[in-house]
């Protein structure tokens, strides 16, 4: 597997672990009343009732785990170039991140949900990096390489 693909796999895994921490943190507050974490209101934007939100989050985590494993093992179905899908997913990730910033400013809600929506947007962006054609310069293929 190429170095950019390994970098992307590492970034995808870190982003999945961050999202898992968010889901676990909220569950600990809701079900166990853990006092050392922020209160329920800080984790919850109120758009979905928690009995619907938790299963949706678990589905997202399951999909991320499948994609992370495929990225680490270099599964052709994941790392095969898809230029048009990469472009669309990249733009969707930008729109998603901006929409969450606007939502935060307009509604004045707590930051935890917004920050973790940004984590999901970063996940989508990184996935798009995997789908870029190999002809593109390797420095622009992964978020880690771009940060150097």
Q: Are 72 and 20 spatial neighbours (Cβ–Cβ below 8 Å)?
A: no
**pLDDT of 31-56, one tens digit each?**
999 999 988 888 877 778 899 999 99
- Residues 107 and 68: their CA atoms lie apart, in Å, by 33
Range with lowest mean pLDDT among 26-35, 73-82, 91-100, 134-143:
134-143
User: Does the pLDDT value for residue 11 go beyond 90?
Assistant: yes
The confidence score (pLDDT) of residue 128 equals 92
Q: What is the domain range of residue 37?
A: 3-147
Q: How many domains is the chain partitioned into structurally?
A: 1
Specify the higher pLDDT residue, 40 or 89.
Answer: 89
Q: Are 120 and 85 spatial neighbours (Cβ–Cβ below 8 Å)?
A: no
- The shares of helix, strand and coil residues in the chain, as percent rounded to the nearest 5, are 80, 0, 20
Query: pLDDT band at residue 119, thresholds of 50, 70 and 90?
Result: very high
């Amino acid at each position: 597997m190429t170095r950019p693909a390994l970098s992307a796999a590492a970034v995808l895994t870190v982003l999945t672990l961050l999202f898992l921490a968010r889901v676990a943190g909220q569950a600990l507050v809701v079900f166990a009343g853990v006092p050392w974490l922020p209160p329920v209101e800080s984790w919850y934007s109120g758009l979905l009732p928690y009995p619907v939100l938790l299963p949706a989050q678990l589905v997202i985590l399951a999909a991320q785990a499948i994609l992370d494993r495929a990225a680490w093992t270099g599964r052709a179905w994941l790392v095969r170039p898809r230029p048009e899908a990469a472009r669309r997913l990249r733009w969707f990730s930008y729109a998603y991140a901006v929409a969450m910033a606007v939502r935060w400013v307009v509604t004045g809600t707590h930051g935890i949900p917004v920050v973790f929506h940004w984590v999901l947007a970063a996940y989508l962006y990184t996935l798009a990096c995997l789908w870029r054609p190999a002809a593109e310069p390797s420095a622009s293929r992964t978020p880690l390489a771009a940060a150097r």
